[in-house]
């Protein structure tokens, strides 16, 4: 009889404990689970907008590029073969190839520098030289019979990186259009690398794409010279770790917030403490700065307002109670409870 009473009393206690545990686990998951759908949907909508930014950039890049590719403003360069005619003195007609120092030699004249001039500007310069000493009102024709051209290199996060012939006075957007526009991995800047004639050093110009393409800053659309390298860096990388679904490195999309980086990592784990997010950032003095953020609001200094930078680390802390409950399991083999700690 004693054994039967003990067996009858034991079962209700066990099931009560199980039900209480299940309710507690459900409560904890509700408290520390993923952010509300409205917030998540908003973030995902913004992420879709960011993905379309590259397409919008490319549409704006390609339009002016196509118009400028055929612009009749080729400038003379080393190796070009020029035909020079003086109408008042046909005997002065010559064909000359531009030398390495950018000059041509004409009858009666010293070497004249024509590199960097258009045909029209070269005609004016040669006519003035003959007018100064030999002819009263000469009319000169300069025709480029063979174009040596030049080359520019477009590299980095573009659709078709490579070396391109440069026959016209192209600018930044024209060079990007030549290479088919930006790739999905493109960052927000373009670097123009130019060798210096005076030294072996490179001059590097950094152009911000957003004010150039979307802000109408035509002054940023600088001229590309032959021999220049146009380089589009890839977007930076942010590392997301801690109580998230898929820890790892993720490309930084334009104006990506901390919250968006967490969404890229699959969102919060069920054990996450959304009010305990740490942003680790390298400061200018090469020291690491730790910024404490909250993910459940949109106030200043929250995960919804801070944008990430290259090499940032985002670490989402775990809720201690949720982590403990997550690891509890019913040990059916011994009619008791065991604990399996979560991976995070």
For each of the chain's 344 residues, which pLDDT tens digit applies? 344 434 434 444 455 555 555 555 555 444 444 443 334 444 445 545 555 566 776 777 777 544 444 444 678 888 889 999 999 999 999 999 999 899 999 999 989 999 989 899 999 999 999 999 899 899 999 998 887 767 899 999 999 999 988 766 788 998 998 899 888 888 888 999 987 655 566 788 888 888 888 787 888 888 888 789 999 988 888 999 888 999 888 888 767 888 889 999 999 988 888 888 988 887 766 677 888 888 765 455 566 778 888 888 899 988 877 666 655 544 444 444 454 455 55
The string of pLDDT tens digits covering residues 170-190 is 889 989 988 998 888 888 889
* Helix ranges (DSSP H) in the chain: 2-32, 37-68, 119-133, 172-178, 209-213, 258-264, 320-327
Q: Torsions phi, psi of 113, nearest 5?
A: -80, 120
Model pLDDT, residue 77 = 83
- Domains defined along the chain, listed by start: 54-71+149-232 (3.10.560.10), 81-144 (3.30.1950.10), 236-344 (3.10.560.10)
User: Which two three-digit tokens encode residue 127?
Assistant: 């006519």
Model pLDDT, residue 17 = 57
Q: Is 144 helix (H, G, I), strand (E, B) or coil?
A: strand
User: Which two three-digit tokens encode residue 312?
Assistant: 């940032």
In the 8-state DSSP scheme, what is residue 244?
B
Model pLDDT, residue 208 = 86
Model pLDDT, residue 324 = 65
Detail the DSSP E strand segments found in 88-213. Answer: 94-97, 103-104, 112-113, 140-146, 151-156, 162-165, 189-195, 202-208
Model pLDDT, residue 48 = 54
Model pLDDT, residue 196 = 63
User: Which two three-digit tokens encode residue 283?
Assistant: 């400061």
Neighbours of 168 (CB within 10 A): 17
Q: Are strands 229-232 and 237-242 parallel, antiparallel or unpaired?
A: unpaired
Q: How far apart are CA 188 and CA 209, in angstroms?
A: 6
């Amino acid at each position: 009889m004693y054994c039967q009473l003990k067996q009858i009393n034991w079962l209700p206690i066990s099931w009560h404990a199980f039900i209480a545990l299940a309710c507690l686990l459900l409560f904890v998951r509700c408290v520390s689970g993923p952010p509300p759908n409205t917030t998540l949907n908003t973030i995902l909508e913004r992420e879709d907008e960011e993905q379309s930014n590259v397409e919008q950039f490319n549409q704006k890049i390609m339009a002016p590029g196509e118009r400028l590719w055929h612009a009749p403003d080729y400038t003379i360069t080393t190796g070009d073969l020029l035909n020079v005619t003086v109408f008042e003195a046909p005997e002065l007609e010559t064909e000359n190839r531009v030398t390495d120092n950018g000059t041509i030699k004409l009858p009666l004249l010293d070497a004249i520098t024509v590199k960097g001039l258009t045909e029209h500007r070269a005609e004016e310069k040669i006519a003035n030289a003959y007018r100064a000493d030999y002819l009263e009102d000469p009319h000169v024709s300069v025709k480029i019979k063979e174009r040596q051209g030049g080359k520019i290199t477009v590299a980095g996060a573009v659709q078709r990186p490579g070396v391109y012939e440069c026959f016209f006075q192209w600018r930044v957007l024209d060079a990007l259009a030549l290479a088919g526009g930006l790739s999905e991995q493109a960052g927000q800047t373009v670097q123009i690398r130019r060798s210096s004639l005076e030294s072996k050093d490179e001059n590097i110009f950094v152009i911000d794409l957003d004010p150039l393409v979307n802000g109408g800053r035509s002054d940023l659309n600088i001229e590309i010279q032959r021999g220049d390298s146009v380089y589009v860096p890839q977007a930076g990388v942010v590392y997301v770790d801690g109580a998230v679904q898929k820890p790892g490195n993720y490309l930084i999309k334009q104006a990506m917030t901390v919250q968006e980086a967490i969404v890229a990592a699959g969102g919060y784990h069920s054990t996450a403490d959304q009010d305990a997010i740490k942003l680790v950032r390298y400061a200018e003095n090469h020291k690491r700065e730790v910024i404490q953020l909250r993910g459940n609001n949109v106030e200043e200094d929250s995960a919804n307002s801070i944008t990430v930078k290259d090499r940032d680390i985002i670490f989402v802390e775990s809720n201690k109670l949720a982590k403990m409950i997550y690891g509890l399991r019913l040990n059916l083999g011994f009619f008791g409870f065991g604990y399996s700690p979560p991976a995070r």
